[in-house]
Amino acid sequence: MKRVVVLGVCFLLLWCVGVTFSQERPTITIWGRASFAPAQAYWFNSLAYEWGAKNGVDVKITWIPVADIAPKLVTAVASGTEPDLVIGGMPYAKFAEGGLLLPLDEIVDKLGRDDFFEVKLLVGTVGGKVYAIPSGFEISWMHVRQDIFEKAGATGLLPFKGKDGVLAAARKVNQVEPGVYGIGLPLGGSGYDCEWTFFIYYYGLGGGVIESRSKGGVILGKDPNRSIAREVFSLFRTIYEEGLTPPDSGQWVDISNNMAFLEGKIAMTSNPMSIWYGIMTGKPDLVPKTKIYPDFSPIDQGQEGCFIFKSTKHPDLLKDLLYTFFADKENYRKGWCEQSHLYNLPIFKSQMQVLSENWKQGKYPVMGMDPYEVALKTQYHEWPMTYPLKEATSVMEDFCNSWMANDMVVRAVVKGENADQVIDFYQQKLEEMVFEAYGK
């Protein structure tokens, strides 16, 4: 009898061990884009680990440098080692078109679709479904050395009145302080700043790139778009040839115009508020000297999206975590946006309206205009959203992410090649890319 009891206890223990192993805690892997504002990563880490502890999930987070996340993601997908969730990363249009991502419309609806700025939903939309939710609103602002503008008697040109107003201001303040150029214009072949600066003016003047997913839908080389592209190239070449931008700006990368402003080499430059973050965290002497105004045509550069790969073993957990990221909208505003000194602005109208009220009460003297009003004026996105199609496309993603848009600017502006020949070349490249991607 004792022997039977002992055997029974042993079997019970073995069964318990088996249950323990079978109920092993789920593990999810997250990749994030390491932004210029580390405070964002600290905030998300805290939120994700707290969520994991509450839900019995092991959370593994890796933050990847800006220049590395796109090639690492493409390589991971090709080898079948992609993460479960990406926070603030790219690319994603090609993954969505390839059927590799989970649609996120249920999360959008749960958060309140009407509370999103339209441009922030369109940038992650493919075939009418949302596959990526942007982590923030990354509006371009013209960062201005207010003290130099005052010395030059140029404050009457602020805010800027069209592209000609930008040129007039650059001329007026150029070398007012010896060695300080009128504007920092990114014209380098690598880094995103060159291409999005081009699109600030190109879209602002009414230009378009692709109107349908077919060769015939490529309109860069068709008027009025051809004429608009020539007009932007002409503006940039004037700035470059007149020495209104530093002579090395033809070799600039993403960080170059930031550093030129922080080091006092330029009187103004277009950029999201990463420059302001740099001022607040390392250049306090520039705080009273700096003001930001809406660009000639503000563009959203916040293409960094949050998306879930369909290959995950834990889709419901991932959806819940992504929902948790945004669900407490006030916490998101304070933790992700305000702690980064507004490097990212909120993607929600309700939270931007809070910033608006704070601005009206004098909390953000650096802003020369109500941020909510600037957000409403921001109708265009850098990429992968494609105009006038108004959806994300892998073609636009590849065109910009592989520096082809930069090459176009470098050839027409820095190298001074014939603008029409340059436009013809990239019209043809885009047609080939569209045909390869969509077969028509």
**Residue 208, helix vs strand vs coil:** coil
Residue scoring higher pLDDT (65 or 112): 112
Report yes or no: 386 and 397 within 8 Å, Cβ to Cβ.
Answer: no
Per-residue pLDDT of 60-69, as tens digits, reads 999 999 879 9
Taking CA atoms, 109 is separated from 13, 135, 306, in Å, by 47, 16, 16
Report yes or no: 97 and 437 within 8 Å, Cβ to Cβ.
Answer: yes
Per-residue pLDDT at 11 exceeds 60: no
Per-residue pLDDT at 135 exceeds 90: yes
Residues facing 239 on adjacent strands: none
pTM value surpassing 0.85:
yes
Per-residue pLDDT of 302-312, as tens digits, reads 888 999 999 99
Report yes or no: 138 and 345 within 8 Å, Cβ to Cβ.
Answer: yes
Nearest to 399 by CA among 194, 227, 118, 204: 194
- pLDDT at position 23 is 58
Report yes or no: 121 and 108 within 8 Å, Cβ to Cβ.
Answer: yes
**Residue 412, helix vs strand vs coil:** helix
Span 106-132, average pLDDT: 96
CA torsion angle for 238, 244, 250, 251 (degrees, to 10)?
Answer: -170
Q: Answer yes or no: same fold for 24-136+302-360 and 141-297+402-438.
A: yes
Which CATH number applies to 141-297+402-438: 3.20.20.210, 3.40.50.300, 1.10.10.10, 3.40.190.10? 3.40.190.10
Helix (H) or strand (E) holding 60: strand 58-65
Taking CA atoms, 289 is separated from 168, 261, 358, 401, in Å, by 21, 12, 21, 34
First-residue to last-residue Cα distance in the chain: 80
Per-residue pLDDT of 151-183, as tens digits, reads 999 999 999 989 999 999 999 999 999 999 999
Residue 431 to residue 440: CA distance in whole angstroms: 9
CA torsion angle for 226, 244, 292, 177 (degrees, to 10)?
Answer: -170
Residue 72 to residue 66: CA distance in whole angstroms: 11
**Residue 236, helix vs strand vs coil:** helix
Burial class (CB in 10 A: 0-12, 13-18, 19+), 424: middle
- pLDDT at position 12 is 47
Largest separation between any pair of C-alpha atoms in the chain: 103
- pLDDT at position 195 is 93
- pLDDT at position 401 is 87
Per-residue pLDDT of 26-55, as tens digits, reads 999 999 999 878 889 999 999 999 999 999
How do the domains of the chain map onto residue ranges? 24-136+302-360, 141-297+402-438
Report yes or no: 165 and 297 within 8 Å, Cβ to Cβ.
Answer: no
Helix (H) or strand (E) holding 278: helix 274-282
Taking CA atoms, 107 is separated from 116, 237, 322, 353, in Å, by 12, 45, 8, 22
Query: 24-136+302-360: which CATH architecture?
Result: 3-Layer(aba) Sandwich (3.40)
Residue 241 to residue 329: CA distance in whole angstroms: 47
- pLDDT at position 303 is 85
**What tokens were used for 429?**
């490249």
Angle, in degrees to the nearest 10, between helices 394-401 and 419-438: 130
